[in-house]
Structure 1
Amino acid sequence: MVDIDSQIPTSYDPFADIKDSLAPGDKGYVHLRVQQRNGKKCLTTVQGLKEDFGYQKILKDLKKEFCCNGNVVNDKVLGKVIQLQGDHRKNVMIFLVKSKIVDKDRIKIHGF
């Protein structure tokens, strides 16, 4: 007879590293995510920028560069998050690296 417990694979949690951190952005990463809204509409979020940056200034430059609308949201858990209309993850990454706000190895892109 075969032991069933030894055949069941253990589950892997891909978000385990996020749960281990004490606060969002404590490892210095900037997270670029896309969220599906309704239909073909989507939303790009930028989380993890340092607090000493002028979020409104960065948002103004992003909106002008990508011809989209956006805002800064204050979240209790995540802190300040920049939201942009549309999927601009790669464009935002290039913009942040080119303007020397964040190094390329400190940016993580999430989403589909």
Structure 2
Amino acid sequence: MTDQNIINLRSADPFADVTGSSASDSGATGGAGGQRSSNLIHIRIQQRSGKKTLTTVQGIGEEFDKKRLLRAFKKKFACNGTVVEHQEYGEVIQLQGDQRTNVSQFLKEIGICQAEQLKVHGF
């Protein structure tokens, strides 16, 4: 019972489901792990230090300007953030705090994606 209460203290790879950590997934993806779910937008939360968290948004198409999206996120959610270039996943948006529900609602409202294209991860 106590193990279930402390599950969020384990260190885990937040991108493990995209990369396909098992050997059977690597054959099905055809190489690059990020290409497997190119039509899904992944919204994750990562624990920083103490109770500080970081929200990452990965998988937004190349046709959208991520810096303009970041500017809209920062203004609407009153938080800070940045766009990080990841060697495997491309451009990833990082926001301070737990913004998972805000980001998912915002992306659906402005029409970037449908509800079935969003995958929200976290504890």
Q: Give the TM-score of the pair, scaled to structure 2.
A: 0.74
- The structure, 1 or 2, with the larger RCO (C-alpha pairs under 8 Å, 6+ apart) is 1
Q: Deviations over 1:22-75 (max 9, x none)?
A: 341543100000000001100000000001110000000000000000000000
Match for residue 105 of structure 1 among 99, 109, 116: 116
Q: Which has the higher helix share?
A: 2
Residues 1-112 of structure 1 mapped to structure 2, 5 A cutoff: 18-19=19-20, 20=25, 21=29, 22-27=32-37, 28-112=39-123
> Is the contact between residue 25 and residue 48 of structure 1 (CA under 8 Å) also seen in structure 2?
no
> Is the contact between residue 55 and residue 95 of structure 2 (CA under 8 Å) also seen in structure 1?
yes
**Which ranges of structure 2 fall in alignment gaps of 5 or more residues?**
1-15
RMSD: 1.6
**Amino acid of the residue matched to residue 81 of structure 1?**
V
**Amino acid of the residue matched to residue 44 of structure 1?**
T
> 2-side partners of 1:32 and 1:16: how far apart?
12
Number of equivalenced pairs: 98
> 2-side partners of 1:31 and 1:100: how far apart?
16
> 2-side partners of 1:34 and 1:61: how far apart?
19
Identity of aligned residues (%): 45
**Which ranges of structure 1 fall in alignment gaps of 5 or more residues?**
1-14
Q: Give the TM-score of the pair, scaled to structure 1.
A: 0.81
